[in-house]
């Protein structure tokens, strides 16, 4: 990470010096001097002003330095990095922090005979789902929260999901009709880590190419699908964050709650009063979930009126990892490959 970016990010969190602060400092200094015995040599007023301003500047500088040195090591001096609790000034700052954290971890992909396991809890608005004519995977009930468990084999040739009654359904991936964004491990391994090359690849694989959909919305949607469905490892995940951070109109929002109430950082794009948002863990930069909501009251043609802030869909990641077979939910997690929230 560029040291200047860190300094700018940290500096932006410190309230700037105002004239009223300096006046208050001068009054306290002068009052203190008035109570002291008269000395032979008077201190010029100009010197007092300089001393007051200098003291205030030292205080500001010290606060920035302390912020830089507080990190995961509990305050011990070491490599300076932005603390996870410090709000990200913008999407690029968030992506840089994720990239820095990912550099310390190894990307782990499953073997051809292993599976990526993903467990999500999902909410979708009943009317939106009905109009899309897409039934929830796993037998979920439209209009309520339901849990989905998915598996994707390492060679990209098979997928599986568990129905609401507990039955496991396995399917062979159709090579001709498969969606590149939902291929699983084989597709993830084929993606470049360099953000510019990754963006071009995502645009090439865009299933909505040829439509009038805005590039920002199309790419953002692709990244949402990848994060939701196949769990990119840390370095690829950070590269995806970097790609969307460079899109026009992308911003960040602090203290966003996901579907299960966890607090994260939202990275979002807005289009015609509708916000698409990816929610990221502020400490590990792992994917917590995503959601879509209206920013103002919106009446859908032929449908009902959505109120301001109403969530149309929301997904929260409950667990993910690499496991030995479809239906397995513990082997990879127990080995520390995945995580359980």
pLDDT tens, position by position, 181-214: 456 788 899 999 999 999 999 988 876 655 556 7
Contact assessment for residue 163 and residue 138, using Cβ atoms and an 8 Å cutoff: yes
DSSP-derived letter for residue 136 is P
With the CA atoms of 194, 83, 106 and 229 taken in that order, what torsion angle do they form, in degrees rounded to the nearest 10? -70
User: Highest-confidence range of 59-68, 276-285, 304-313, by mean pLDDT?
Assistant: 276-285
Q: Output the CA–CA distances (angstroms, integers) from residue 337 to 99, 154, 182, 240, 317, in the order listed.
A: 19, 15, 21, 20, 15
Q: What angle do CA 137, 143, 147 make, to 5 degrees?
A: 40
pLDDT at 34: 55
Question: Count of alpha carbons within 13 Å of 327, Cβ hemisphere only?
Answer: 7
> In terms of pLDDT, which residue wins out, 10 or 23?
23
Residue 257 pLDDT:
93
pLDDT in tens, 206-236: 766 555 567 888 899 989 989 988 889 999 9
The answer to whether residue 287 scores a pLDDT higher than 50 is: yes
pLDDT above 60 for 39: no
Asked if the model's pLDDT at residue 54 lies above 50, the reply is no
Q: Has residue 76 got a pLDDT over 70?
A: no
Cα distances (Å, whole numbers) of residue 139 to 164, 202, 268, 332? 5, 30, 29, 26
The reported pLDDT for the residue numbered 68 is: 34
Q: Mean of the pLDDT values across residues 121-133? A: 67
Instruction: Tell me how crowded residue 108 is: count the other CB atoms within 10 A of its CB.
Output: 14
Given pLDDT bands bounded at 50, 70 and 90, which one contains residue 125?
Answer: confident
pLDDT, residue 20, reads 56
pLDDT classification of 90: cutoffs 50, 70, 90: confident
Question: What confidence score (pLDDT) does residue 233 get?
Answer: 93
pLDDT confidence of residue 25 = 63
Q: Model's pTM, two decimal places?
A: 0.68
Region 263-273 average pLDDT: 92
The conformational region for residue 210 under phi > 0 = left, psi -120 to 50 = alpha, else beta, is: left
The answer on pLDDT for 293 being more than 70 is yes
Share of the chain above pLDDT 70, in %: 60
| Confidence label for 86 from pLDDT (cuts 50, 70 and 90) | low
Q: Tell me what pLDDT residue 151 has.
A: 93
């Amino acid at each position: 990470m560029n040291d200047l970016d860190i300094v700018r990010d940290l500096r932006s969190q410190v309230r700037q010096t105002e004239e009223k602060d300096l006046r208050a400092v001068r009054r306290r200094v002068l009052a203190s001097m008035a109570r002291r015995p008269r000395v032979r040599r008077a201190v010029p007023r100009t010197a007092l002003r300089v001393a007051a301003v200098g003291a205030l500047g030292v205080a500001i500088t010290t606060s920035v330095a302390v912020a830089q040195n507080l990190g995961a090591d509990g305050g011990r001096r070491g490599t300076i990095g932005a603390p996870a609790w410090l709000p990200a000034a913008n999407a690029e700052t968030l992506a840089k922090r994720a990239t820095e954290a990912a550099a310390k971890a190894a990307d782990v992909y499953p073997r051809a005979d292993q599976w990526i396991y993903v467990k999500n809890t999902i909410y979708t608005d009943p009317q939106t789902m009905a109009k899309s004519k897409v039934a929830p995977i796993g037998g979920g009930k439209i209009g309520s929260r339901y849990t989905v468990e998915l598996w994707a084999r390492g060679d990209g040739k098979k997928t599986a999901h568990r129905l609401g009654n507990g039955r496991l359904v396995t399917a062979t991936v159709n090579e001709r009709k498969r969606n590149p964004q939902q291929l699983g491990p084989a597709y993830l391994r084929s993606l470049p880590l360099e953000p510019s090359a990754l963006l071009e690849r995502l645009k090439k694989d865009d299933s909505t190419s040829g439509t009038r959909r805005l590039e920002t919305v199309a790419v953002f949607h692709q990244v949402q699908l990848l994060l939701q469905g196949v769990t990119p490892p840390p370095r690829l995940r950070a590269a995806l964050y970097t790609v969307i951070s460079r899109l026009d109109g992308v911003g960040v929002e602090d203290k966003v709650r996901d579907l299960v109430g966890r607090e994260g950082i939202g990275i979002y794009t807005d289009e015609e009063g509708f916000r698409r948002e990816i929610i990221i863990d502020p400490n590990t930069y792992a994917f917590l979930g995503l959601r879509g909501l209206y920013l103002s009251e919106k009446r859908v043609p032929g449908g009902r009126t959505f109120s301001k802030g109403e969530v149309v869909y929301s997904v929260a990641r409950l667990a993910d990892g690499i496991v030995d077979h479809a239906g397995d939910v513990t082997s990879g997690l127990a080995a520390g490959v995945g995580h359980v929230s």
